[in-house]
A and B are shown apart, each in its own frame.
Chain A
Amino acid sequence: MKKYWAFFRMRFINGLQYRAAAWAGVVTQFVWGFMELFLFDAFYRADPSAFPMDQQALASYIWLQQAFFAMFTSWQWENELFDSIASGNVAYELCRPVSIYNMWFTRSVARRLSRAALRCLPVLLVASLLPTPYGMGLPDGPEAFAGFLISMVLGLLLVSAFSMLVYMSAFYTISSQGIRIVATNLMDFLCGAIIPLPFLPDAAQGILALLPFASMNNAPFRIYGGDIGGMEMAYTIGLQVFWTVVLVAVGKWMEQRVKQKIVVQGG
């Protein structure tokens, strides 16, 4: 455990180095946040009755999305890992007395966390000073806030577990590019990064909510604003746990297969 912590620490510090990128991120996130708000505002005025979310909940959703963008975004791929797989350098890593899955998983979590850590505070701070219903609202009660925190952690783990599946699948193909592209775009749309999931057709909502993608950023952001509450919240968090366990299990299984394959090839 200690070595993973050391590894986490190293990656985290490494993530803090990108000062210019962090400030740029904050600026970008602000502009994006405002533009999204104006955009949804225009649609709200077009037809308030068709609006599937409370305006305040949506504003909180948008600001959380901007604040934790680096944490949940689909394209936080580490090309180094893909390159090391493609070039075969990964063989060294497989020989070390640590699990490659755990190490890369830690790495992914650290990277996402460090990048988000730099950006989230300024965004959240300023967003909470904006007038309602455009600013970042308070959480919808203490249980919503508690649920939000738990759900955030689970969401982060799930996103990392999903990335791991993509990294692991790179062992099975010569060029991982195709998988990466499809995975990125699929995730982008289905996790609500393009438009929040409630804005998709009502008929599709039931299925969308069951997919692992809905358990990523969609779950915590909507719990925060009260869009998901009560029993539904417990159910959502349960689903997050379920998907995290499943994705990690599949990833670990793939790791085992990869190791065997490498051993066979080596012998």
Chain B
Amino acid sequence: MGVCRDGAENRLEEWGKLKMIQVEHLTKTFRVAKRRAGFRSAFRALWSRQYEEIRALDDISFTIRDGEMVGYMGPNGAGKSSTIKVLSGILTPEGGTCRVNGRIPWKERKEHVKHIGVVFGQRSQLWWDVPVMDSFFLLKDIYSVPDAVFRETCTELTELLSLEEILKTPARQLSLGQRMRCEIAASLLHRPDILFLDEPTIGLDAVSKLAVREFIKKLNHEHKTTVILTTHDMQDIEALASRIILIGKGRVLMDGTLSDVRACAKDAGASLDEMAAALYRAYEV
């Protein structure tokens, strides 16, 4: 009996090491209110409103191994953010299963989120009006990071992201690029095994973009952090992702490498964006 259980636990552990994230047949639908223009329909909408069902995730399956860097690609509204949200425990899917580090995110939320970091490019987790460092201290307490570990992590992040100068500044006074570097640091203070980046380079200037990419690469290399990245910037994908998952209309359309994407473009001299566009056209999304 005892032997048997040990075996099962060992296997689970091993499985966890190899496949950090396993997603099977995820589905999720949203109900969206329809609105039409005009005087009369504005009046009519007072009485009845029509709803439309949108399949944000339609039978999504994939596996991601420990230490991989995966680019999650797709046109607007394809279901990228929804997937990230399911994986990070924000959304509960209607069907399918998903294990991250052997845990089901939405069932063991607290334990799960201790091991992940999430950056939403369009939103901020820093306190707007207080120095960035104070936000960091608060996060330290929220995640109960031990003093020694926190100091070490902080020093490392400060150096890698060159935050020295800006940690004492309130977030509202930072430029977008500076803020994004702080956001990324804030998501890594508890040393997560997995980092979700939802459009981390949106709106950044060239220098900041390069700095962010450089940092993510280093992070993956040195700490073996698994990185999952959604972006519309094809250069992000090129620079970071060794693997690309293409999603459209809630389905996985392609799971491969950048050269697979290149193969889709007929013109060899096409730019990255043109390649992506050709790909979307090919899959009619």
Q: Which residues of A contact B (CB under 8 A)?
A: 9, 13, 16-17, 19, 22, 118
Contact = CB atoms under 8 A, between A and B. Distances in A.
Task: Give the bracket for the number of chain B residues in contact with chain A.
Answer: under 10
Interface centre among B39, B42, B43, B49 (most CB of A within 10 A): B42
Contact of B46 (A9, A13, A118): A118
Nearest to B33: A19
Contacts of B43: 16
B46 A19 contact: yes
A134 B222 CA distance: 77
B45 interface: yes
Contacts of B42: 13, 16-17
Interface string B20-39: 00000000000000000001
B45 A19 contact: yes
Nearest to B37: A13
Interface of B: 39, 42-43, 45-46, 49
B39 A19 contact: no
Nearest to B35: A17
Contacts of A19: 45-46, 49
A198 to B, nearest CB: 36
Contacts of A9: 39
B121 to A, nearest CB: 25
A206 to B, nearest CB: 45
Contacts of A118: 46
Nearest to A9: B39
Given A16-B42, A17-B45, A19-B46, 10 more contacts: A9-B39, A13-B39, A13-B42, A16-B43, A16-B46, A17-B42, A19-B45, A19-B49, A22-B46, A118-B46
A18 to B, nearest CB: 10
B172 to A, nearest CB: 15
Contacts of B39: 9, 13
Nearest to A14: B42
A13 B43 CA distance: 9
A16 B42 CA distance: 6
Contacts of B49: 19
A19 B42 CA distance: 9
B253 to A, nearest CB: 37
A14 to B, nearest CB: 9
A19 B46 CA distance: 5
Nearest to B43: A16
Nearest to A18: B46
B11 to A, nearest CB: 52
A9 B39 CA distance: 9
B34 to A, nearest CB: 13
Contacts of B46: 16, 19, 22, 118
5 contacts: A9-B39, A16-B43, A16-B46, A17-B45, A22-B46
A247 to B, nearest CB: 31
B84 to A, nearest CB: 29
A135 B259 CA distance: 77
A175 to B, nearest CB: 17
Instruction: Give me the 8 closest cross-chain CB pairs, A-B, nearest first.
Output: A16-B42, A19-B46, A13-B42, A13-B39, A19-B45, A17-B42, A16-B43, A22-B46
A19 B45 CA distance: 7
B40 to A, nearest CB: 10
Nearest to B46: A19
B247 to A, nearest CB: 33
A16 B39 CA distance: 9
A36 to B, nearest CB: 26
Nearest to B49: A19
